[in-house]
């Protein structure tokens, strides 16, 4: 699985003009299931992100995790993280998991993250979503299983 993690002071996702998910201080996570990914990888990625020490401690150093801060997470499905741009100018997405598997692993990831303690809200798989966020830092990290 692939994830792009952004430390945010706020984030929200809307579908058809209605807010369907939001997070205050915490993380906005774009996640993509790749062909061949498993539920175990989805759970492992959720655990890694929950423990990722990218929040400031009292000395201003990135030394605290989402679990340490009590922050929340907004999880958005993002198949375009599978983009292959090695040939030409049009990205290919054949490395992404098929939609039915991608949706299942997206849900497993979000549920596994929530089971660790953070408040988790999500977008809508396959929907045309508008995502807004205020990146804190900015801190943006790419993770892959």
Mean pLDDT of all residues in 117-141: 97
Topology (CATH level 3) of domain 2-144: 3.50.80
Q: Are the C-beta atoms of residues 24 and 69 closer than 8 Å to each other?
A: no
Mean pLDDT of the chain: 97
78 catalytically annotated:
yes
69 catalytically annotated:
no
Mean pLDDT of all residues in 18-44: 98
Q: Name the active-site residue from 6, 14, 55, 80.
A: 80
For the record, the structure tokens of 46 come out as 């959720």
Tell me how far apart the alpha carbons of residues 123 and 12 are, in angstroms, rounded to a whole number: 9
Beta pairing partners, 15 = 18
Tens of pLDDT, residue by residue over 1-14, are 999 999 999 999 99
For the record, the structure tokens of 101 come out as 């598997």
Tens of pLDDT, residue by residue over 94-109, are 999 999 999 999 999 9
6 catalytically annotated:
no
Tell me how far apart the alpha carbons of residues 74 and 129 are, in angstroms, rounded to a whole number: 13
- Please indicate, yes or no, whether the overall pTM of this predicted structure exceeds 0.85: yes
């Amino acid at each position: 699985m692939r994830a792009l993690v952004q430390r945010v002071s706020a984030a929200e996702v809307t579908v058809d003009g209605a807010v369907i998910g939001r997070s205050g201080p915490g993380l906005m996570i774009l996640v993509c299931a790749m062909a061949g990914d498993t539920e175990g990888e989805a759970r492992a990625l959720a655990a890694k992100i929950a423990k990722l020490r990218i929040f400031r401690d009292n000395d201003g150093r990135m030394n605290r995790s989402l679990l340490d801060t009590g922050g929340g997470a907004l999880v958005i499905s993002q198949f375009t993280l599978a983009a292959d741009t090695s040939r030409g100018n049009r990205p290919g997405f054949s490395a992404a998991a098929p939609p039915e598997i991608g949706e299942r692993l997206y849900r497993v990831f979000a549920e596994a993250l929530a089971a660790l303690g953070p408040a988790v809200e999500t977008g809508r798989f396959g929907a045309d979503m508008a995502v807004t966020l205020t990146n804190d830092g900015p801190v943006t990290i790419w993770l892959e299983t």
